[in-house]
Amino acid sequence: MSTDKPVIVYGASGYTGRLVCEYLREYNVPFVAAGRDKARIQEAMDKVPGIDTVEHEIIEVAHDVEPLTELFDGAQVVLNTVGPFAQYGREVVEACISTGCHYLDTTGEQDWLIICDEEYGARMAEKGLLLAPGIAQMYTTSEIAAQLCLEKPGVDTLDILVFWKGTPTVASTRTILVNACLSKAYYLEQNQYAEWPADAGLYDVVIPGQHETGLALPWGGMSHPVWFKHDPRVANVRALGGVFNRPLMLGVPQIVKGVLAAIEGLPDSEKLRVINEQAAGVMNQMPPREVTRINTSLDSVHASGPLGRAHCVIHGNSNYKQTGLMQAYGAYSLLQQPPRRVGFASGCQAFGHHELLGALRSFGLVMEPNLTVHH
């Protein structure tokens, strides 16, 4: 079951997986759309505009190391959208190590990033392979803003805020609840992980570009503290995220409280089953395709330090499209040149923040960043 296609999109039947395939088509990159249900993958591919203009193949595969290894044989890059990643990611990474494939995913789980860093980073690096979890709008676009701020010497602290307007996917809803109910959330303080208070509730935040304040949460800690832990320029990182819809944010703690009550005293395997059921009760269908005028995003980073201040804001649209594009661009880049860093790395560390920004700009997904530097 080996392939002659250079890229595998694993989880192609989902909302994000389909968008990844759309942008691979834009880059004219042949790919395999893979997952556990061939009929569902076919249904998703039928909705990709112009799918007949790119070489692709649909393959059903069981989620286990052996069949995944057989599938990945012959490929160069695996783009994984199957979560929760702490539950389902290990088999995919192990298959990548066995077959010599670079690995990218769309995770929003901080604990999975820490697992990748501590358990798999060195193994991937030994083989000259990239391990890049968390390449997605909610993390990478704000990382681009952070990297632009860090071009100013004298800053060592990052205060990150991510906001978006839209409907979460089924998988995103599940990830939110898994993060909130089963995982600790960390920020970075003097290059050490520090735990966010579990009972702090919602944080009031100032949203650039509007008079109304917003409400935000650590969303499981976000990816940035893990990425920047290995950056000697950075000592402190805090990241918060939220949606512009204030009533929806006010409802999140109540939803989490209900799920925590439902899983209290259950074994871990049962907890995941109940969380999946609860997530389906919140969102059980694929959201409508994003509308550029409505589904906006905002990434804001304040960088500070003993001798520097900088602030960068990136306004964008269609956050899931941003994710799909950056995944496809990562694969497109890896097929032509090695990554800037092997082993565990962020999107910017692997491909360059100006390069990723250029891709987002060229497809009309973000505005020119608004960077203010205080001298």
**One domain for residues 190 and 222:** yes
* pLDDT at position 179: 64
**One domain for residues 165 and 240:** yes
In a domain, 24, yes or no: yes
**One domain for residues 178 and 324:** no
In a domain, 37, yes or no: yes
* pLDDT at position 247: 87
In a domain, 2, yes or no: no
Percent of the chain with pLDDT over 70: 92
**One domain for residues 342 and 330:** yes
**One domain for residues 193 and 113:** no
CATH code of the domain containing 285: 3.30.360.10
Mean pLDDT of 205-232: 94
**One domain for residues 327 and 277:** no
In a domain, 1, yes or no: no
In a domain, 300, yes or no: yes
In a domain, 28, yes or no: yes
* pLDDT at position 53: 96
Query: What pTM does this model have?
Result: 0.93
* pLDDT at position 222: 93
Q: Which tops the pLDDT comparison, 30 or 3?
A: 30
The band of 283, judged by pLDDT with boundaries at 50, 70 and 90, is low
CB burial readout 328-344, b (16+ within 10 A) else e: bbbbbbbeeeebebbbb
Give the number of other Cβ atoms within 10 Å of residue 207's Cβ.
18
**One domain for residues 27 and 113:** yes
What are the residues facing 216 on neighbouring strands?
203
**pLDDT tens-digit map of 181-201:** 667 899 999 999 999 997 778
The boundaries of the domain holding residue 214 are 137-319+368-374
**One domain for residues 336 and 216:** no
**One domain for residues 311 and 245:** yes
**One domain for residues 206 and 305:** yes
**One domain for residues 286 and 358:** no
**One domain for residues 303 and 162:** yes
CB burial readout 219-252, b (16+ within 10 A) else e: bbbbbbbbbbbbbeebbbbbbbbbbbeeeebeeb
Torsion sign, CA atoms 280, 281, 282, 287: positive
CA distance 332 to 28: 9
CATH code of the domain containing 50: 3.40.50.720
* pLDDT at position 251: 82
- pLDDT at position 38 over 90: yes
Distances (CA, A) of 230 to 146, 191, 237, 344, 349: 15, 8, 12, 10, 11
Q: Say how many domains are in the chain.
A: 2
Q: Which tops the pLDDT comparison, 263 or 180?
A: 263
**pLDDT tens-digit map of 167-178:** 666 666 767 777
**pLDDT tens-digit map of 145-164:** 999 999 999 999 999 999 99
In a domain, 11, yes or no: yes
The band of 314, judged by pLDDT with boundaries at 50, 70 and 90, is very high
